[in-house]
């Protein structure tokens, strides 16, 4: 794009950037909820597995390591780690969307200033002649 945006284009682009930011924030909220639930499920399963390993005769000092080797516990940890990674990625995307929205606003402002400069507005000539 080399030409300034029209008023309608600026409104459309800024609205679109705002909508995308809002969508990104909603996705991030869901990712936080999912990560919290995955963390909860993993910790509960780990605690139960530690108790079971100790009950089966493992010393308290090795029971946590043995419990982490349990297939279900390991699967839940992977799911938790994946959820945390997704949450982080969506967090970065939300920051990017915020920057995109700010960029759109800056371009809209630039377009307005450029259009006014080309029309001679603000250079000693009235914006509207009233004729």
Q: What count of other Cβ atoms lies within 10 Å of the Cβ of residue 130?
A: 4
**H or E element that contains 110:** helix 71-119
Residue of 72, 76, 54 lying closest to 64 (CA atoms): 54
Label residues 1-12 b or e (16+ Cβ within 10 Å = b): eeebbeeeebee
pLDDT digits (tens, 9 = 90+) for 29-76: 999 999 999 999 999 999 999 999 999 999 999 999 999 999 999 999
Under 8 Å between Cβ of 3 and 93: no
Structure tokens, 86:
């997704």
Residue of 79, 86, 96 lying closest to 45 (CA atoms): 79
pTM: 0.73
Query: Sorting pLDDT into bands at 50, 70 and 90, what band is 114?
Result: confident
Query: Sorting pLDDT into bands at 50, 70 and 90, what band is 22?
Result: very high
* CA distance linking residue 95 with residue 48, whole number of Å: 38
Given the structure tokens 């029309």, which residue do they identify?
119
Answer whether residue 129 shows pLDDT above 60. no
């Amino acid at each position: 794009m080399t030409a300034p945006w029209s008023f309608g284009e600026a409104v459309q682009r800024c609205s679109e950037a705002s909508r995308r930011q809002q969508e990104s924030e909603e996705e991030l909220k869901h990712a936080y909820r999912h990560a919290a639930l995955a963390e909860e499920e993993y910790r509960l399963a780990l605690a139960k597995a530690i108790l079971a390993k100790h009950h089966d005769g493992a010393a308290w000092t090795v029971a946590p390591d043995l419990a982490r080797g349990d297939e279900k516990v390991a699967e839940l940890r992977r799911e938790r780690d994946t959820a945390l990674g997704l949450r982080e990625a969506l967090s970065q995307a939300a920051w990017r969307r915020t920057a995109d929205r700010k960029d759109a606003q800056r371009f809209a402002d630039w377009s307005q200033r450029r259009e006014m400069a080309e029309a001679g507005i603000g250079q000693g000539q009235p914006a509207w002649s009233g004729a």
